[in-house]
């Protein structure tokens, strides 16, 4: 294994009270006793302290700080850089729900584009002339658009976003690359496939289906249910981001994927089977709740990630298959 290219000690995690952010903050604090983490989150509907309450306790106060605020607030962000002397930024904060981006795109422009600009400018000002710093931008495979029946997204795939959400993330990716090329800001970027696991908001497919099923509500499946996504257990994603932070090459992008292509209808069916195993319905089967609904506009047909660059160069690979990760996820939601 190559030598580290960066050694984080004080990390700003934006959006650290969201789904992936909560899991990443937990991972960073529990895996590296030398790291201090500052979590900046606006606490919109998708933010929660549920997974982070323990770190607000007195024993963690020297290593964890939560700040409620907007990444688009330049005054707040600049003051945090001045006060905390960050050497690392992991930028996760984003509006991320495709359906919401269709009905209300303005918030996606404000947060995903303008917020990223504010963070880049704050980092550029604070890190002028400094070494040992890194800005890592977490993005999505949705920036690449839709695949046909075969093929995979690579780091060289042209961008072709379909929704206001993916367009706003594509724009933020381009800003990060531009600040690296124009201002020599040390950056890395990751584009990840669909995440699932503990603490995910129930508007997303897997927790939404679990919640509806347990409450005896219809399980709405878009179109014919054959849209394909590559799925990644969230802890595997956190491990990958950590590898990129410490071993990634400046200016490089890395695709993160689980090598788990699944049709939506097959995911919903598997959830039904697991729930029937753990908490069987008194009459009938959870499959009886499946309800096909009108497809959403611009619904990409297939995503699939080629993560070989990350595996070959940084020695990362996912630890969970989709079946094992989904079982762990169902168990977690039943327990919580």
Other CB atoms within 10 Å distance of the CB of residue 183: 14
Do 15 and 94 meet the contact criterion of CB atoms below 8 Å apart?
Answer: yes
- CA dist., res. 50 & res. 33, Å (int): 22
DSSP 180-232: HHHH---EEEEEE-EEESTT--TTSHHHHHHHHHHTT--EEEETTS--EEEEE
- CA dist., res. 209 & res. 15, Å (int): 24
- CA dist., res. 219 & res. 265, Å (int): 10
Length of the chain: 336
First to last CA, the chain: 39
Beta-bridge partners for 68: 41
DSSP 84-144: H--SEEEE------HHHHHH-THHHIIIIIIHHHHHHHHHHHHTTT--S-EEEEEEEGGGG
Cβ-in-10-Å burial (0-12, 13-18, 19+) of 324 comes to: exposed
Q: Which residues are catalytic?
A: 141-142, 165
257-278 burial: b if 16+ Cβ within 10 Å, else e: bbbbbbbbbebbbbbbebbeee
- 239 Cβ contact list (under 8 Å, min separation 6): 27, 316, 319
């Amino acid at each position: 294994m190559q030598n580290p290219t960066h050694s984080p000690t004080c990390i700003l995690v934006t959006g650290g009270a969201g789904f992936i952010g909560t899991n990443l903050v937990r991972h960073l604090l529990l895996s590296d006793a030398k790291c201090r983490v500052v979590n900046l989150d606006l606490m919109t509907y998708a933010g929660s302290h549920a997974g982070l309450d323990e770190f607000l306790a007195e024993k963690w106060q020297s290593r964890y700080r939560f700040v409620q605020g907007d990444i688009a607030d330049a005054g707040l962000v600049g003051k945090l850089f001045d006060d905390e002397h960050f050497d690392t930024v992991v930028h996760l904060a984003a509006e991320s729900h495709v359906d919401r981006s269709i009905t209300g795109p303005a918030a996606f422009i404000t947060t995903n584009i303008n917020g990223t600009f504010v963070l880049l400018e704050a980092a550029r000002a604070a890190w002028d002339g400094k070494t040992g710093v890194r800005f890592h931008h977490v993005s999505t495979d949705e920036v690449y658009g839709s695949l046909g029946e075969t093929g995979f997204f690579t780091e060289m795939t042209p961008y072709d976003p379909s929704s206001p959400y993916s367009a706003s993330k594509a724009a933020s990716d381009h800003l990060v690359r531009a600040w690296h090329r124009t201002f020599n800001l040390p950056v890395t970027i990751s584009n990840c496939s669909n995440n699932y696991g503990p603490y995910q908001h129930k508007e997303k497919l897997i927790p939404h289906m679990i919640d509806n099923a347990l409450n005896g509500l219809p399980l709405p499946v878009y179109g014919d249910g054959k849209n394909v996504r590559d799925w990644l257990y969230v802890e595997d994603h956190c491990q990958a981001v950590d590898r990129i932070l410490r071993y990634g090459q400046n200016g490089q992008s890395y695709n993160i994927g689980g090598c788990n292509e699944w049709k939506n209808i097959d995911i919903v069916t598997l959830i039904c089977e697991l729930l029937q195993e753990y908490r069987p319905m008194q009459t009938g089967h959870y499959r009886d709740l499946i309800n096909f609904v009108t497809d959403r506009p611009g619904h990409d047909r297939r995503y699939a990630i080629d993560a070989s660059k990350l595996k070959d160069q940084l020695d990362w690979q996912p630890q969970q298959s989709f079946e094992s990760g989904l079982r762990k996820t169902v168990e977690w939601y039943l327990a919580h």
